[in-house]
Every structure is written in C-alpha cells, then in structure tokens.
C-alpha cells in the first residue's frame, strides 16, 4: 500500500517537472522573441516605418492622397529610402510629378542605386512628365537589376509606344507577358500597341485574351470595340461598347465610343443620343463636343456642328482638332475666309498629322480661287507624307486650276500607291475628258466602277460622268444605258436626268427630253441650264409662252450649262 502511494507521488513529481520545464521554455522563447523584436525595432528601420506605411496605403486606396503623404512623412523619418518611395508614389498619384521625382531622386543614393522598384517608380514619373528617353533609361535600369521584372518591361513598352516606337513596345510587352503570362492589363496594353500599328486582328486577339482573364472589365470591352470600329465591324464594336455600358452604366467613354461606331453605320440620330449621354456624365468634355460636331457635320447639320465646335474651343482654346472641324464645316457652308482662318489656326496648333490640315487648308484656298496658295500648302503636305491621300488632294487642286497634266501625274502616283483608289481613277478620268482623251477617260471611269469606293465618290456619279464621255464620243446608246443605270440607283440625281434629256432631244424624242428636263428641275428648282434646255425644246414644238417662261426662270439663276460641273464629291482627307 505504501509502495503504491510512493509510486503515485513520484509520478506527480515527474509531471510537474515536465510542466515546469515547458513553462520555462515558453518563457525563454517569449523573452528571446521579445529581444529580437526590440533589436529589430531599434536596428531595422522598415519595421518602425511599417505602421505608417500601412496607414498611408489604406488612405491611397480611398484616394486620400494628402492624408497618405502625411503618414509617409512619418515613415521617411524612420526608414528614409522606403518612405521616400512610398511618398513619391502618393505624390505621383496626386499629380505632383515634380515632388514625386524629387523624392525618388533622394531615395536612389540611399540604396546605392540598387533598388529596381525606385527606378521603376521614377520612370513612371518621368513618363508622365513626357521625358520619355529618361523614363526608358530608368525602366532599363530596373530591368538590369531585376531581369524578370514584368512591370518594368510593361512600363518601358508604354513609354516606347508613347514615343512612337511601336515595334520596340511590342517586344517589351512580349517580355512582360513572358514573366507575367496571366496579367490581363499587359495583354490589353499590347493590344493598344498592335492597334496603333495597324495589326487589327492581333489587337483584337490580345483584347480577347485580356477579357478571358478579366471578363468584367469595362475598359477592355472599350478597347476591343475601338479595334472593331477601326476594322469596319461597326456591329461588333457597338456590341462591345454596349457591354461596357452594361458593366458601367455611367461610362461616358463607352457612350462616346459607341456614338463613333454608330456614326460609322450612318446611324446619326443614335450617335447624337449617345454623345448626349456622354455629356451628361462629363458636361465640360471638349472632345465629346468635337465628336458631336463631326457627327452633325456628317449628318448635314452644319450650323449645329459649328455650335459644337465653338463649345469645344471655348472649353479648350488650343484644341487643334476643333478648329480643324470648324474650318471644314465653314468650307462646306462656302465661308471660305472663315474656313481658311480656322484651318490656319489648326495648322499653328497641331503637332502631328499636319499634312491632313494642309490638304484641307489647300482645298479651301482652291475653292476661294487662290490656287497658288493652295498648291503651296499641298506641296508641303506631299513633302511631309507622300502618300495616296496627299497626291490625290494636290491633283484635285491642279485640276481645278486647269493644270490637267500635273493633275494626271498626281492622280497616277496616288493610283500607284493605292491601286484600288476609286476616286483617283475618277479624277484622272475627268482630267483626260477635259483634255479630249475620251478613250482614256472612259477606261478610267471603267476602272472606278470596278473598285469599291474608298472615298465619297458614288456609283451614280461615275456612271453619269462616263455617260457624258460616251455621248461626246458619239456612243449615245452606251451613254443612255449609263444615265438609265445612274437614275435607277438614285432617282433624285438631277444631272443624270438633264444629261439624258440632251440625248433624247438630239434623237428627236422631244417629249422625252421635256420630261427629263422637268424632272431635273423638280429635283433642283434653281437648275438654270435645265430651264434653258427645256425652253429650246418648247421653241421647237411651238410653245413660245412656255419657252419665255423657262428663259425668265433661267435668268433668275447663274448656273453654268456644264452638266458635269457639280459631279465632284471627291474631298481631301478630313
């Protein structure tokens, strides 16, 4: 019995010893950890700064940048390099690029130039400031320090894209995606570079991949929609912009973009409604007013277009595109002095695509009769960008000044650069027609009809011009066939009725001639030449009162009898 009691007591003593040992060990561990933390707190600055860094980041998430900067000020006191990096980031987010750059510059020597994150952040500030070469140098340094730094490759790519080095940008985006293959933003960024490069299918494929990784991104749908719109897939673009609006119902960008796609489909009322929605969200956005001005101009509402361009200029006085749009609209209204003033101002302000402004300025001067000034502008446009558009634009001015050989030379160069350019064949045909080369003119009219029209030249216009050339050559049956087809395409095409009336009168079909002249006058009541031609037929049939009435009406107007005078609807790039 005593032995059992002694055994139990020994067991209890052993258990207490074990418990006491563990307690002592725990106490020792706690003391050691506490000592380590104290040492770390005293000798590792980042740990002392950590609470302030966390507070600052939380405020940045709430867009309280000033509050974040105050927290990071305290972090700078405790861990200068890290604090300066974070404070620089907050200043950059707040738009204080100079202050951000100063913080990054202070941080670099503190880490002896060995922090890729600081170089990457400084590169972002320089990129935002427009010092692209310096930004690229910083991103390159970050990559040198961290060769698999996907964000730095992405950022260098964006700087290269901004600089116009699209090929170099795409190479960097490829690298970024090699190291971060599931980054949706990198795919989207590469897609924008491919879009700028003209690789529309490649851009759409990248936007598809981005959306697969992040299917609820309103921005990605907008980017893909823009690529589809550029490709001419207006329905697909509208679907993407509509999805973006579904995801973010108040997205002014998406409404504006859908408006442009609807404009491409010539759904002008729908486009105007969408721009209105965009302006509800951003009532002081000059770009939206400019875009609505373009849509109204395309719709034929020239006064409404000028009102919108005026508003865009009021909001942004140095807005070159708005002056350009208003200048083109004033040219459409035959206010050539106003057009020249606006287009000259656009030329003063614009930094890129100057050749487009020069073409339109030259066109306005040509319409005013200043062919020398027009040709000077167009010569400069050709020198800046010798492509089919600039050659075609100069050709049109040379033709209007009577330099048919020079015009033919420029139209030919435009055709060599773009063999399916219907408008250039059409313009060259009219030059040959003016020179009496009817066979050459008819051959070019034939070529025009073979191609899908690139510009505003419509099939009925070409058919009517070819009919005029065939009539001059003596092929009246061929001419009548062309006029009949032109009228079949457009039953309000007054010139085709007028031209067909001439042939019917020559063939002795006087009632048919009167019928065609009458229809031309119904369509265009100020058509002086049609009144004169109808008066001549009425004289033949003895209707003297009718003849005198038509001559009196013709005298009220000043239109020339040239039936092809108003057939030109080829315009320079706008």
* Residue at 398 is within a domain: yes
* Residue at 185 is within a domain: no
Per residue, the 3-state secondary structure of 347-410, as one string, reads HHHCCCCHHHHHHHHHHHHHHHCCHHHHHHHHHHHHHHCCCHHHHHHHHHHHHHCCCHHHHHHH
Do 358 and 440 reside in the same domain of the chain?
Answer: yes
Do 481 and 404 reside in the same domain of the chain?
Answer: no
30: confidence class by pLDDT, cuts 50, 70, 90: confident
* Residue at 407 is within a domain: yes
Among residues 408, 427, 457, the one where a domain terminates is 457
CATH number of the structural domain spanning residue 536: 1.25.40.10
CB atoms within 10 A of CB 35: 10
Do 365 and 453 reside in the same domain of the chain?
Answer: yes
Do 376 and 410 reside in the same domain of the chain?
Answer: yes
* Domain membership of residue 7 as a residue range: 2-43
pLDDT attached to residue 318: 96
What's the sign of the alpha-carbon dihedral 278, 279, 283, 285?
positive
Do 488 and 533 reside in the same domain of the chain?
Answer: yes
* Residue at 414 is within a domain: yes
* Residue at 550 is within a domain: yes
Do 441 and 475 reside in the same domain of the chain?
Answer: no
Please state the domain count of the chain: 3
pTM higher than 0.75 = yes
Distance CA 414, CA 62 (A): 56
* Residue at 139 is within a domain: no
Do 365 and 431 reside in the same domain of the chain?
Answer: yes
Do 447 and 357 reside in the same domain of the chain?
Answer: yes
pLDDT attached to residue 10: 66
Distance CA 72, CA 86 (A): 7
The 3-state DSSP class for residue 548 equals helix
The 3-state DSSP class for residue 564 equals coil
pLDDT attached to residue 4: 59
* Residue at 516 is within a domain: yes
Give the model confidence (pLDDT) of 108-119 as tens digits.
999 888 999 999
Give the model confidence (pLDDT) of 475-526 as tens digits.
999 999 999 999 999 999 999 999 999 999 999 999 999 999 999 999 999 9
Do 448 and 357 reside in the same domain of the chain?
Answer: yes
Do 420 and 480 reside in the same domain of the chain?
Answer: no
* Residue at 21 is within a domain: yes
Do 417 and 496 reside in the same domain of the chain?
Answer: no
Of the chain, the end-to-end C-alpha distance in Å amounts to: 114
Do 419 and 477 reside in the same domain of the chain?
Answer: no
329: confidence class by pLDDT, cuts 50, 70, 90: very high
Give the model confidence (pLDDT) of 133-180 as tens digits.
999 999 999 999 999 999 999 999 999 999 999 999 999 999 999 999
């Amino acid at each position: 019995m005593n032995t059992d009691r002694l055994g139990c007591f020994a067991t209890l003593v052993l258990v207490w010893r074990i418990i006491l040992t563990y307690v002592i060990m725990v106490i020792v561990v706690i003391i050691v950890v506490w000592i380590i933390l104290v040492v770390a707190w005293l000798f590792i600055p980042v740990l002392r700064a950590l609470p302030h860094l966390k507070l600052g980041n939380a405020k940045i998430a709430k867009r309280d940048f000033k509050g974040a900067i105050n927290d990071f000020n305290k972090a700078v006191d405790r861990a200068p390099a890290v604090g300066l990096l974070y404070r620089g980031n907050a200043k950059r987010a707040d738009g204080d690029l100079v202050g951000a750059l100063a913080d990054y510059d202070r941080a670099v020597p503190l880490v002896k130039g060995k922090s890729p994150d600081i170089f990457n952040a400084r590169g972002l500030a320089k990129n935002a400031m427009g010092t692209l070469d310096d930004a690229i140098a910083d991103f390159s340094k970050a990559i040198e320090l961290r060769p698999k730094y996907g964000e730095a490759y992405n950022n260098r790519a964006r700087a290269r894209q901004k600089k116009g080095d699209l090929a170099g940008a795409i190479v960097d985006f490829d690298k970024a995606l090699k190291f971060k293959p599931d980054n949706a933003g990198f795919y989207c960024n590469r897609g924008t570079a491919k879009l700028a490069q003209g690789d529309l299918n490649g851009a759409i494929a990248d936007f598809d991949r981005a959306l697969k990784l992040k299917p609820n991104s309103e921005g990605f749908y907008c980017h893909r929609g823009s690529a589809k719109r550029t490709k001419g897939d207006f329905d697909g673009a509208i679907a993407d912009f509509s999805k973006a609006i579904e995801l973010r119902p108040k997205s002014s960008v998406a409404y504006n973009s859908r408006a442009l796609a609807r404009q491409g489909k010539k759904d002008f009322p729908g486009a105007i409604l969408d721009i209105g929605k965009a302006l509800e969200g951003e009532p002081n956005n000059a770009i939206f007013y400019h875009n609505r001005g373009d849509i109204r101009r395309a719709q034929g509402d020239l006064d409404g277009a000028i009102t919108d361009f005026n508003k865009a200029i009021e909001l942004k006085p140095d807005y070159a595109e708005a002056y350009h749009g208003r200048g083109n609209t004033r040219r459409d209204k035959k206010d050539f002095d106003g057009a020249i003033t606006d287009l000259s101002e656009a030329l003063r302000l614009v930094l890129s695509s100057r050749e487009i402004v020069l073409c339109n300025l030259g066109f306005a001067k040509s319409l005013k009769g200043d062919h020398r000034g027009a040709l000077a502008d167009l010569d400069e446009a050709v020198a800046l960008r010798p492509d089919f558009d600039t050659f075609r634009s100069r050709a049109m001015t040379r033709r209007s000044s009577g330099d048919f050989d020079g015009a033919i030379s420029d139209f030919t160069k435009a055709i060599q650069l773009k063999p399916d350019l219907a408008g250039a064949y059409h313009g060259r045909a009219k030059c040959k027609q003016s020179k009496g080369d009817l066979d050459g003119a008819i051959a070019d009219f034939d070529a025009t009809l073979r191609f899908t029209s690139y510009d505003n030249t419509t099939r009925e216009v070409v058919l009517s011009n070819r009919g005029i050339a065939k009539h001059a050559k003596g092929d009246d049956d061929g001419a009548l066939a062309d006029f009949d087809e032109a009228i079949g395409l457009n039953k309000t095409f007054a010139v085709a009725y007028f031209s067909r009336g001439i042939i019917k009168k020559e063939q002795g079909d006087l009632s048919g001639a009167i019928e065609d002249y009458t229809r031309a006058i119904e369509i265009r009541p100020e058509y002086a030449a049609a009144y004169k031609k109808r008066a001549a037929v009425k004289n033949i049939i003895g209707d003297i009162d009718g003849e005198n009435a038509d001559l009196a009406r013709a005298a009220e107007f000043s239109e020339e009898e040239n039936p092809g005078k108003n057939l030109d609807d080829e315009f320079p790039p706008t």
